[in-house]
Structure 1
Amino acid sequence: MAKVKESDTVRIVYIGKLDNGHIFKEVHIDNPLTVKIGESELPPTVELAIIGMEAGKPKKIRIAPDEGYGPRFKDLLHELPVRSFGNRLIPKPGMVLSQKVSKDGKQHTVPATVIEVKNDNVVVDYNHPLAGHHLTYELTVIEINPTQ
């Protein structure tokens, strides 16, 4: 049976879980993910795990934070005044906001998670939501399209 190689295009289904069992992403058979191996569409450790897989044979991998979305950085926690949100929303812990930030002279929209609301300030976390977590992926390749 054919095995996935570098540069192959594959269709996969998977479940991504945190150590506490929380599912952070699920890709079902009715809408599989199509990726070209080697194009950095998935974390490198996940792509490496897919290489050598056969269609229909599931595989489970666990990756450390530094192989996934990196560690959490305390300097990405910021305190913002509640008034900066205007009347458009009332920030609550756990809420994920789209925030505009400037980097290298360019505007970017990034997710920020509300950690705490205290008096007139809101603590937001600009770390990737999966940063600092061990991640478990249950992967199944459903189709392999070899490189021509």
Structure 2
Amino acid sequence: MTQPKNNDTVVVAFTGKLDNGEIFYVVEKDNPMSVALGSGDLPPTVESAILEMKVGDTKKIRVPPDEGYGPRQKDLLQVIESEEMVASIKPLPGMVLSLQVEKDGQPQKVPATVIQVDGPKVTVDYNHPLAGHHLTYELVLLDIIKAAVH
């Protein structure tokens, strides 16, 4: 059997896990994902591993934070006053809120995780929940669709 090459489309199923074993994403074999190699849609570590696989192979691939969702950024932690929130919301640690921020002069809603509630002060984290984590993908290569030769 052949291995995929750059520009081929691969069909994969995988389970994404954190170091503590928590599953954060699953793509089942009966509803697989297709992705073109070399498109930049995959972390380089994952793409390199797939290039060494054959159809039917399974591989465990560990992706560092800088190839995943980036490092955690302390400047994305913010303390806000609870009265700035909708009155019907009582913030609790772990809760994900949709908060309005300004980006490029335009208001946008972005998710923020409540880290701490100290009276009227609420500490929120705008980092992606997977930022700063090593990600492990248990991946199976289901098919290779060869790139058209021009």
TM-score normalised by L of structure 2: 0.88
- The separation in 2 between residues aligned to 1:146 and 1:106, in whole angstroms, is 43
Does the 8 Å CA contact 1:5/1:52 hold for their aligned counterparts? no
Instruction: Point out the more displaced range, 42-51 or 4-13.
Output: 42-51
Correspondence 1:72 to 2:75? no
What are structure 1's unaligned runs of at least 5 residues? none
Provide Cα deviations, 1:55-74, integer angstroms capped at 9, x if missing partner.
11001111222232221111
Question: CA separation of 1:7/1:110 partners in 2, compared to 1, >3 Å: closer, same or farther?
Answer: farther
Give matches, 1:75-90, under 5 Å.
75-90=75-90
Task: Name the structure 1 match of 2:25.
Answer: 25
Task: Name the structure 1 match of 2:14.
Answer: 14
TM-superposed deviation, 1:107: 4.1
TM-superposed deviation, 1:21: 0.8
Pairs aligned (count): 148
Q: Secondary structure at the match of 1:50?
A: helix
Aligned Cα root-mean-square deviation (Å): 1.7
Does the 8 Å CA contact 1:76/1:127 hold for their aligned counterparts? yes
Task: Name the structure 1 match of 2:39.
Answer: 39
Task: Name the structure 2 match of 1:145.
Answer: 145
TM-score normalised by L of structure 1: 0.89
- The separation in 2 between residues aligned to 1:42 and 1:99, in whole angstroms, is 29
Correspondence 1:120 to 2:120? yes
Task: Name the structure 1 match of 2:57.
Answer: 57
Provide Cα deviations, 1:68-126, integer angstroms capped at 9, x if missing partner.
22211111100111122213432221122233332233444432111111111211111
Instruction: Point out the more displaced range, 93-102 or 66-75.
Output: 93-102
- The separation in 1 between residues aligned to 2:79 and 2:36, in whole angstroms, is 40
- The separation in 2 between residues aligned to 1:125 and 1:56, in whole angstroms, is 40
What are structure 2's unaligned runs of at least 5 residues? none
Q: Which has the larger radius of gyration?
A: 2
Q: Secondary structure at the match of 1:70?
A: coil
* Runs of 4+, deviation exceeding 4 Å: none
Fraction of identical pairs, as percent = 55
